[in-house]
């Protein structure tokens, strides 16, 4: 289309990881320019947006009734269309802020979870179009994570990628630019945070805020016992007295809280390997399992997976940014992009 070619010269294309927990935007020649929580603060009196990203996340659990904190994505898919659209628009404008663009109508590659339905796909596409995109390409997240990790996705070689995000864990065996076997679980980072909230309530009658629980997970969470013990003060409200309470917890206790989630992830990795054709399993043994996503940063998780599967495990460099990096890289590989993008749900876009 001539229009698109003309616009193409002046707009900067974007790779976006629209995640349950975090949204990242990659722009050519610059790299990652936006890296913010997928959180929006809304004034309930007039529906205006008060803050987006980190500023909104910092308000979590501290709001008066006139402010609502929205997480517009659940399990990686749009659960609140209007807010998702506004959030995307905000981030796209931010991304273009310091870039010289006459007409900021970018082509956008967006990562989506495996097993996304057509309705959900359309919601993501529409949000991107109404946020100003000229063309939208949806690509399954594990493929983007693998491209972001510079793995040879196009070759006839098996790669086992496990992306542990906020809302979903995606386990995928890739070969020849496609996904051969996979599992998608709703057990990921957020579930681990909830495990800690539940543990505090059951073990200590302590009611914890989710933000604090996440910090505890990041600071002293482990999948396997560590050489040096870790500990932290857990602060919350005593459920019985209603008063503030502080309890010193150590890594062993938090590990116990996380155990079931971790076990679920590992069991599903094993099941995925069992479903995989033997030639590809051979490749995986040789090349190892690759982890990405924020959940892969949990201390010792890589070692535990390696122990349990007998396969070497490597966490990709900067695992939180792998999907966005892959989306950005894909914008420069037109053939591969058209090969792996999911079919469009509309004829939408610019006409």
Ligand X SMILES: Nc1ncnc2c1ncn2[C@@H]1O[C@H](COP(=O)(O)OP(=O)(O)OP(=O)(O)O)[C@@H](O)[C@H]1O
Burial 16-49 (b: 16+ CB within 10 A, else e): bbbbbbbbbbbbeeeebbbbbbbbbbbeeeeeeb
Q: Measured between alpha carbons, how far is 109 from 161 in angstroms, rounded to an integer? A: 20
Minimal distance, residue 163 CB to Mg ion, in Å = 6
Selected range binding Mg ion among 33-41, 165-173, 300-308, 310-318, rule: CB under 5 A: 165-173
Of 320, 324, 331, 341, the one binding ligand X by CB under 6 A: 320
223 known ligand binder: no
The residue (of 19 and 221) whose beta carbon lies closer to Mg ion is: 19
217 annotated as ligand-binding: yes
Beta carbons of 131 and 78 less than 8 angstroms apart: no
Q: Which stretch binds ligand X (CB under 6 A): 200-208, 215-223, 261-269, 305-313?
A: 215-223
Q: Is 214 annotated as a binding residue?
A: yes
CB atoms within 10 A of CB 144: 30
Site string for ligand X, 157-196 (x = CB under 6 A): --------xxxx-------------------xxx--x---
> Which among ligand X, Mg ion, none contacts residue 188 (Cβ within 5 to 8 A by kind)?
ligand X
Nearer to Mg ion, 19 or 328 (CB): 19
Interface with ligand X in residues 277-296 (CB under 6 A): 293-295
Query: DSSP labels for 283-303?
Result: HHHHH-EEEESGGGGSBTHHH
Q: Which of 80, 93, 78 is nearest to 131 (CA)?
A: 93
End-to-end CA distance of the chain: 9
24 versus 51: smaller Cβ distance to ligand X: 24
Question: Is 20 annotated as belonging to a binding site?
Answer: yes
| Pair 231, 248: CB distance under 8 Å | yes
Q: Binding string to ligand X for residues 18 to 47, with x set by CB under 6 A, is what? A: -xxxx-------------------------
- Residue 263 burial (10 A CB sphere; 0-12, 13-18, 19+): middle
Least Cα distance to 211 among 194, 199, 198, 231 occurs for 194
Residue 37 in contact with Mg ion, rule: CB under 5 A: no
Binding residues for ATP: 20-22, 166-168, 214-217, 294-297
Annotated binding site: 20-22, 166-168, 214-217, 294-297
């Amino acid at each position: 289309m001539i229009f698109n070619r003309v616009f193409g010269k002046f707009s900067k294309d974007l790779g976006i990881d629209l995640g349950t927990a975090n949204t990242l935007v990659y722009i050519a020649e610059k790299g990652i320019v936006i890296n913010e929580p997928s959180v929006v603060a809304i004034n309930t009196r007039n529906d205006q947006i008060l803050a987006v990203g980190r500023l909104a996340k910092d308000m979590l659990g501290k709001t008066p009734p006139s402010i609502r904190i929205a997480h517009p994505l659940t399990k990686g898919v749009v659960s609140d269309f209007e807010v998702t659209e506004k959030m995307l628009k905000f981030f796209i404008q931010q991304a273009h802020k310091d870039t010289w663009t006459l007409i900021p109508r970018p082509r956008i590659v967006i990562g989506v979870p495996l097993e996304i339905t057509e309705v959900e796909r359309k919601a993501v596409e529409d949000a991107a179009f109404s946020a100003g995109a000229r063309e939208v390409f949806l690509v399954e997240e594990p493929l983007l994570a693998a491209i972001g990790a510079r793995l040879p996705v196009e070759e006839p070689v098996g790669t086992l990628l496990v992306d542990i995000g906020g809302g979903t864990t995606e386990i995928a065996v890739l070969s020849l630019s496609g996904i051969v076997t996979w599992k998608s679980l709703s057990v990921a980072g957020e579930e681990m945070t909830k495990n800690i909230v539940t543990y505090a309530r059951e073990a200590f009658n302590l009611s914890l805020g989710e933000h604090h629980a996440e910090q505890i997970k990041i600071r002293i969470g482990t999948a396997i016992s560590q050489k040096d013990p870790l500990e932290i003060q857990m602060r919350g409200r005593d459920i019985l007295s209603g008063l503030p309470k502080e309890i010193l917890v150590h890594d062993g206790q938090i590990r116990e809280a996380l155990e079931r989630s971790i076990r679920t992830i590992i069991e599903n990795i094993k099941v995925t390997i069992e479903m995989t054709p033997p030639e590809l399993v051979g490749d995986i043994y040789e090349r190892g399992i690759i982890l990405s996503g924020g959940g892969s940063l949990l201390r010792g998780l890589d070692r535990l997976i390696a122990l349990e599967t007998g396969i070497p495990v490597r966490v990709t460099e900067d695992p939180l940014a792998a999907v966005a990096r892959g989306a950005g890289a894909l914008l420069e590989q037109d053939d591969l992009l058209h090969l792996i993008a999911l079919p469009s749900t509309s004829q939408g876009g610019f006409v």
